[in-house]
Structure 1
């Protein structure tokens, strides 16, 4: 006789496969003019992205559709409505990613504190098992205090909606303080730092011709970009667009 306390098992089903893919390639055959336009766009949009990310971080937990719309309106005046949408969405995603990383860091600190506290509660020299650590002292009392202080700061930041974000990457930023160890000159570091902080990306839009209205890639490999308003004078095509001389080729899944 079946036990009525057991939950019933639903019919099995097959989950849908992934509906999107990301494939990398390189732009080849670019002219000096193409290079100049890409650098100008990357630097201009990267500057806007840095300012917008700062505003998003300042909003913290007070972020709403109204504050998002206000940021987009301000960016539209110095770029375009679609570039503003791409930049603000990237800022929102970056804040959310940092928020998740912050929560994971807090969990790691809590686990470390629990382990050290357990070991300090045991007699010195007591051996541990596979499931439980042994007892010891040495510098772990100080280590416990350090982790506790860090946890307090992280919890305070999380409650305030504050995150730590570095556009360009913390690792590269720290390399600036010891260029010799990073095997970089000041000029090399500056070049990499500026390139990492550029912004030139846009999500695809369903139903839009050749990807989206901001960055288009035709089946023949032609790449055209919607220029921000201050760079509209660089256009070589209609409607304020710039068409790259070099074509893009997708060797992997190119037919799709």
Structure 2
């Protein structure tokens, strides 16, 4: 791992630094984390930002989608991550049912996440969220807009499917991204869209873009930590990359401990 400079470590916390990075062509990396130990490790590894995603419903809770994650759970996990990675940009998801009723509900929910330690909140949706984004931005709540494959809409979309594949769908997504940025979104996250579309939106909007399955033309990338570490023990999205066989290492370590207990090796005699 390349050593970080002191300036870079001090810089990655502020949203303004991410905007400067976009202007300077500096790519940044984010990862998800849901607790203190993994957040601390991610910061030590040099990650720029951490998302406490409602993906915790699937990766941590074992649910089939993200829809059962509550605001209270998000606040709980955000606090742990913020304590573990105080130098990283901390982004937290507004979970399903915590913001869709209108701007006032979204503000009340976002306020709880900011108080828990988030630097910016993320909400899913395109043009329908423009008013809410504007309302939050005017009230000191930094927002990252999430377009493309929006997991909270999985029932409506008919599954976890790539978005923006037709000319009309791509045009609408470009319009949505521009409108959300104009309304005050400080970042735009794009999930599971064609690489060309991800690059085009990145060129058109003034705010930093984050890609997950959106090609290499975005300003930043994000992956789910459990995919990166090989801890899912099952399906990994095609756009993800597994960097370690974490599941095997954990199994072997626990198995070695159990075997030493059974054979009397652990604990050692005094």
TM over 0.5: no
Bigger radius of gyration, 1 or 2?
Answer: 1
TM-score if structure 1 supplies the norm length?
0.24
Q: Comparing both structures, which one devotes a greater share of its residues to strand? A: 2
Q: Comparing both structures, which one devotes a greater share of its residues to helix? A: 1
Answer 1 or 2: higher relative contact order, Cα 8 Å, separation at least 6: 1
TM-score if structure 2 supplies the norm length?
0.23
